[in-house]
Amino acid sequence: MGRYFRDIYISVFTVLKGMYVTMLHFFSKSVTVQYPKERLEIPKGSRNQLLNIIEDCIGCDQCVRACPVNCIYMETIKSFEGDELGETSTGRKKSLWIPSFTIDMAKCCFCGLCTYPCPTECLIMTDVYEYSKHDRNDLIFEFADLDPIKAAELREKDAIRKKEKEAAKLAKLKAKEAAAKAKAEKEAAEEGKTPEKKPEDNPDKKTDNSGEENS
When binding is defined by CB under 6 A, the residue of 77, 94, 99, 103 that contacts ligand SF4 is 103
Segment contacting ligand SF4 (CB under 6 A): 49-57, 147-155, 184-192, 197-205?
Answer: 49-57
Write out the DSSP string of 153-182.
HHHHHHHHHHHHHHHHHHHHHHHHHHHHHH
CA-based torsion, 172, 177, 178, 180: positive or negative: positive
Handedness of CA 168, 174, 179, 182 (dihedral sign): negative
Out of 9, 13, 80, 110, name the contact with ligand SF4 by CB under 6 A: 110
Cα–Cα distance measured from residue 66 to residue 113, given in angstroms and rounded to the nearest whole number: 6
- Judged by CB, which is closer to ligand SF4: 79, or 195? 79
- CB atoms near residue 53 (< 10 Å): 15
Q: Count residues binding ligand SF4 (CB under 6 A).
A: 28
> Which CB sits closer to ligand SF4, 52 or 97?
52
Does residue 63 bind ligand SF4 (CB under 6 A)? Answer: yes
Residue 71 touches ligand SF4, criterion: CB under 6 A: yes
The distance of closest approach from Cβ of residue 153 to ligand SF4 in the complex, given in angstroms and rounded to an integer, is: 22
> Which listed residue (48, 51, 66, 158) binds ligand SF4 by CB under 6 A?
66
Q: Which of 142, 129, 143, 140 is nearest to 49 (CA)?
A: 129
Q: How far apart are CA 187 and CA 172, in angstroms?
A: 23
Handedness of CA 162, 157, 92, 121 (dihedral sign): negative
Least distance in angstroms from the C-beta of 82 to ligand SF4: 24
Would you count residue 100 as binding ligand SF4 (CB under 6 A)? no
CB of 134 to ligand SF4, least distance (A): 21
Of 77 and 108, CB closest to ligand SF4: 108
Asked if 108 contacts 70 with a C-beta cutoff of 8 angstroms, the reply is: no
Q: Among 12, 69, 152, 171, which residue sits at the site for ligand SF4 (rule: CB under 6 A)?
A: 69
CB-CB contact of 109 with 103 (8 Å): no
Q: What's the closest the beta carbon of residue 41 comes to ligand SF4, in angstroms?
A: 22
Q: Is residue 113 a contact residue for ligand SF4 (CB under 6 A)?
A: yes
* Bond before 36 cis per omega within 30 degrees: yes
What residues line the site for ligand SF4 (CB under 6 A)? 50, 52, 57-63, 66-67, 69, 71-72, 103, 108-114, 117-120, 122-123
